Structure formats: C-alpha cells, structure tokens
C-alpha cells in the first residue's frame, strides 16, 4: 500500500537517503529542508510524489504552518519522521552559551514542537506513526558530545511519555537509535573552541580519534535507512530500535552496567520507603 510520509531534515544524510528510498518504492513524501535546491534532482525524477517545504525546525510558528500545509495538501499522512538535527562537539565546559542554545533549540525543542504540531492532525485522521530519529547517544554517552547527548536523552524521555498519552488515539512511536554511520554527520558537527586543559582527558582522546579517522564507523547509511523503513512498515514496531553492531554493543553494555549498579544498591534503595 502506498504511504505518505512527512520528513524533516532531508537536505543530507539519513533524511535525504530515506526520502530517495521511499520515492523509489512508490511512496509519497513531503520533505522539509533549509537549503533551497537540495532535492531538485529527486523532484525532477519523481514529480508531484515529492512535495518540498522550507522549514527551520527552530521556528515553532513555522513548524505549525508547515505541518498544517502538509496535512491540508496530503489529506492523510501515514508516517511523520522527526529527523532534523546535528551534533555539537566539545567538552561541556568548552561549548559556548550560543552553541548550547542552538543545539537544544534544534535537536530537542524542535523535535518536541514538531511532535506537538502533528498530534492534533493524527488524532483527527484516526491515528498514525511518528518516527523519532535519535541515536545510540540517546542511551549511552561519549566524552565531547555532552550537549548532543542531553538532547537525545531528552527527546527519548519525551517520546516515551507521550507515546503512552496518545496510544488510545491510534498513534504510536518508533525511536531509531543508529550507531556511528557513514553519513555527513561528522562533517556537519559544530565544534567548540578546544581548551588545552582537556587535551589529555577522555574528551581530548575522542577529539583526536575523530580528527585522525580512528573513530570506528561501522554503520552503512543505506542499510540503516532500509532497516528504518522496514520497522516503520511493521504493524507493531518496538518503541526503540538500535541499528548497527556498535549501537548494539554500546547500549547493551550501558544497560547491563546500569542494572548491575541498581541491583547492588537495592537495600539502600528500599530503605527510603516508609
């Protein structure tokens, strides 16, 4: 069955690849982006099955306008993909106030406001699915990505709560958690001004690993997108889907360690009850 998708952040990376794959299989896509012309090649190939809307995800009023226009044009949207975002790279002390504000406005507040904007429309049409593109970084943390992690952990908490609120309306969620993947994510990083005192710390180690190319990137972008589409097509997808062997290993290790620590403090934990 042909589906209609609404996808943010489609200029590059997973968003663009997802758009192309969906059009290739015959679906309709309403794609938002900030760079005019970035999807002109797809528009030439697929015509009116691709609709393009300009959108800055940090502009809440513009989000509501774009979402309203998309639903008015399509009539029904089956899947909304909240994908727009980027990474802020630097130790927590190194990043500037402005960088922090932009990171949170884009990755966290922008994603929250997009979800809030589409919910009334999905309720009206009797249901739908929202795919939130997160990261393995929504459950684990690397040095030098503290603000990025703050946004991904934050949006996953928001989604997990809202998913319970809107389930009675036939609306469900799928959180996608890719590990390091071969996209333009690294090239799009916003870098903080490095401080010498962090050079010999874990933050400095990660900085050198990324600069030298030693930071392992095992994820394949096309395979990741294909797995995303397959999961979004399922009747009852999981709430979370980690993608890539690095994500599996990292998330598994983090959850196992958290559970070990929790069990070890069980007596102290229970002592806080009446």
**Structural domain spans, the chain:** 4-270
Q: To which CATH superfamily is domain 4-270 assigned?
A: NAD(P)-binding Rossmann-like Domain (3.40.50.720)
Lowest average pLDDT, out of 78-92, 106-120, 214-228, goes to 214-228
Choice among 46, 148, 198, 250 that is catalytic? 148
Choice among 134, 135, 146, 250 that is catalytic? 134
Tell me the per-residue pLDDT of 254-266, one tens digit each, with 9 for 90 and over: 999 999 999 999 9
Mean pLDDT score of the chain, rounded to an integer? 95
pLDDT at 214: 73
Contacts 24+ apart (CB under 8 A), 244-249: 244/136, 244/178, 244/179, 244/180, 244/181, 244/218, 244/219, 245/179, 245/218, 246/136, 246/179, 246/180, 246/216, 246/218, 246/219, 247/136, 247/177, 247/178, 247/179, 247/219, 248/179
Judge whether residue 8 has pLDDT over 90: yes
Determine the average pLDDT of the residues in 216-222: 85
Judge whether residue 100 has pLDDT over 80: yes
More confident of the two residues 74 and 219: 74
* Residue 269 pLDDT level (bands cut at 50, 70, 90): very high
What pTM was estimated for this model as a whole? Answer: 0.94
Determine the average pLDDT of the residues in 12-25: 96
Tell me the per-residue pLDDT of 48-67, one tens digit each, with 9 for 90 and over: 999 999 999 999 999 999 99
86 touches 190 (CB < 8 A): yes
Determine the average pLDDT of the residues in 207-230: 88
Catalytic site includes residue 134: yes
The terminus-to-terminus CA distance of the chain in angstroms comes to 55
Choice among 142, 146, 152, 250 that is catalytic? 152
pLDDT at 153: 98
Tell me the per-residue pLDDT of 187-203, one tens digit each, with 9 for 90 and over: 778 999 999 999 999 99
């Amino acid at each position: 069955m042909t589906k209609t998708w609404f996808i943010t952040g489609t200029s590059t990376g997973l968003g663009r690849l997802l758009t192309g794959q969906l059009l290739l299989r015959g679906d309709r896509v309403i794609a938002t982006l900030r760079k005019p012309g970035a999807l002109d090649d797809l528009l030439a190939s697929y015509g009116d099955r691709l609709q393009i809307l300009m959108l800055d995800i940090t502009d809440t009023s513009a989000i509501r306008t774009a979402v309203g226009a998309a639903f008015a044009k399509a009539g029904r949207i089956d899947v909304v993909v909240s994908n727009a975002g980027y990474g802020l790279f630097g130790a927590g002390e190194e990043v500037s106030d402005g960088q922090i504000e932009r990171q949170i406005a884009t990755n966290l507040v922008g994603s929250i406001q997009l979800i809030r904007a589409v919910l009334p429309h999905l309720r009206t049409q009797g249901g739908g699915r929202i795919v939130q593109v997160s990261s393995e970084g929504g459950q684990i943390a690397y040095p030098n990505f503290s603000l990025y992690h703050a946004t991904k952990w934050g949006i996953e908490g928001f989604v997990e709560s809202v998913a319970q609120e809107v389930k009675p309306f036939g609306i469900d969620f799928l959180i996608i958690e890719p590990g390091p993947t071969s996209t333009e994510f690294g090239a799009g990083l916003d870098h903080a001004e490095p401080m010498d005192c962090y050079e010999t710390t874990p933050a400095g180690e990660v900085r050198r690993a990324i600069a030298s190319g030693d930071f392992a990137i095992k994820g394949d972008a096309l395979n990741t997108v294909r797995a995303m589409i397959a999961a979004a097509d399922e009747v009852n997808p999981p709430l979370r889907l980690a993608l890539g062997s690095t994500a599996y290993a990292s998330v598994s290790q983090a959850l196992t360690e958290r559970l070990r620590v929790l069990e070890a403090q069980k007596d102290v934990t229970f002592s806080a009850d009446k």
